[in-house]
Structure 1
Amino acid sequence: MGLKYQNILVAIDGSKEADWAFQKGIEIAKRNQASLLLVHVIDTRSFALIEAYDTVIGDRAEKLAKDMLENYHKQAVDAGLTNVQYEIEFGSPKIRIPRDLAKKHKVDLILCGATGMNVVERFFIGSVSEHIVRYAPCDVLIVRTEKDIEEK
């Protein structure tokens, strides 16, 4: 692998840190003339119990994810990128992103936002970004700040 990234994946979850990762992903993709893949994984574990009472929650989550990713896709194209795709998956983000999606799309860089979980939550479930770093087959950039994002 050289010093140039060709296939960049940005994990999008609706958080401000994911937005910062997206903005940095655009700039990295421009510098490397790389493709940009925007991914949102709907964590089915988070609404498994609710679905017993509300059977359309999965459909609503998918619609919200699609609207969010279409907005990010438009921003990336407006910023000058020509090879931008998005994908919505179901399952555990900490498994699907590094183990399945990164390999499926031959990703050589993953960008994701740092999590906002507290110490107790990390102890019991672990953070998504931590799992991505541990299991990804490629470089990973964890974005904690909006520093160096150029305002337009």
Structure 2
Amino acid sequence: MTISPVRLVLFVLLVGLLAWVGFDLVADQRDDARRERDSAQVEVKGLREAARISGEMLAARDEIDLQRTQELTNERNQNDGLRRDVDDGRKRLRLAATCSTTKPTKTGSGGVADAETAELTADARSDYFTLRDQLALSRQMILGLQDHVRRICLR
């Protein structure tokens, strides 16, 4: 059995065409895979950079928090020391106040017989120290937020 030369040429052309189509298909798949790989590498670089920046921002936030917490602790310790000193009588809370008489005196001299330096009552004293604690907390919160905006948000 012999194959005619025309059939042989057609067979060779058909096999060559199929090989060329197969090669083209594989080459397209290879090019698509390379593009996907390159895209993934760019995305990985971006994610690594974002993770690095996030880490720096978290470290800065933690540093701000540590600093402000330490300052708040120091202020509260000072306030507690002052409270103990006032309670023990080593220090006094004085007010800038004037005392006037509500009844006119017959002698004409204005004054109060038991006049002393104006001082807070015991209830007002505890409120005073509570307000000092709250003021210290508010101050540190505001300063911490300002630091956060300056060092992290405006970065």
Task: Tell me if TM exceeds 0.5.
Answer: no
The structure with more radius of gyration: 2
Bigger strand share = 1
Q: Which has the higher helix share?
A: 2
Relative contact order (alpha carbons < 8 A, sep ≥ 6): 1 or 2 greater?
1
